[in-house]
Amino acid sequence: MSCFGCFSLSGYRVSSDGKPPKFQPPPKPVIIDRKTQKEERRFLSPEFIPPRGRTDPLKYYIERKDMIQRRKVFSIPEFYVGSVLAVTTADPYASDKSKRFVGICIQRGGKGLGATFVLRNVIEDQGVEICYELYSPRIQAIEVLKLEKRLDENLMYLRDALPEYSTFDVNMKPVPRMEHEEIPVNKVRMKPKPWSKRWERPKYNIKGIKFELPEHKMKAAQKWSQPWLEFDMLREYDTSKIEAKIRKEL
């Protein structure tokens, strides 16, 4: 936001021998970008947050220490559900002993060291989903080709969407991003029904599909809505204090 450029006045000095002074280009301006230095908005991976339960927090503390140890050796980049990743794993039966898979992350599950993410791609008209463990020693590299966030946490509906939304080129180049990731407004279009799950029902709470169903079907789906659930206060899990403690540990 603030940029300082220093301009020298050497061009205006009168030279001793009367000839016009040699042109000296001004030094490059120094841009200090404050946007990237926001401390409060640092990303915390969701597998660090312990689930709600009665287990001893010591177990999660020890697991977190192990996770940090692994992250020091192998860097796990920041990514969200909906971003395109390329993962190289070790494989004893391949010719170069490693396998590369590109896909869109449709869900991130598990907590602690067993945290997983599922990548989906459509290869030669066949949909393929592979579930990788983040902290597995067989993973050699994770690159984020396109960092993107979606409106939902779970993109399982891509199985019933048109295949163009799940196909990604295996050799695509990483797309550079400067500003913070935005949530895209374009919605996904679906194949005709039947679907594997009834995504129009409010139980799944999906915001990223453009439903082309008739009005009476959408109204019939609302019959299964449970409006009292949002007022059920004991079901809420407030993670802000837990996150603050974990950030201090990191």
Closer residue to other proteins (CB): 20 or 53 = 53
Selected from 233, 237, 241, 248, the binder of other proteins by CB under 8 A is 233
DSSP state of 97: S
Instruction: Say how far apart CA 223 and CA 160 lie, in whole Å.
Output: 23
Please report whether residue 231 would count as binding other proteins according to CB under 8 A. yes
Report, in Å, the least distance between residue 2 CB and other proteins: 34
Among 232, 237, 240, 245, binds other proteins (CB under 8 A): 232
Q: How far is the CB of 216 from other proteins (least distance, A)?
A: 24
Q: Which of 228, 237, 241, 245 binds other proteins (CB under 8 A)?
A: 228
C-alpha distances out from residue 135 to 116, 142, 180, Å: 8, 11, 26
Nearer to other proteins, 54 or 72 (CB): 54
Contact flag: residue 237 with other proteins (CB under 8 A) = no
Choosing from 234, 240, 245, 248, the residue that interacts with other proteins (CB under 8 A) is 234
Are residues 128 and 121 in contact, defined by beta-carbon separation less than 8 angstroms? yes
Footprint of other proteins (CB under 8 A): 226, 228, 231-234
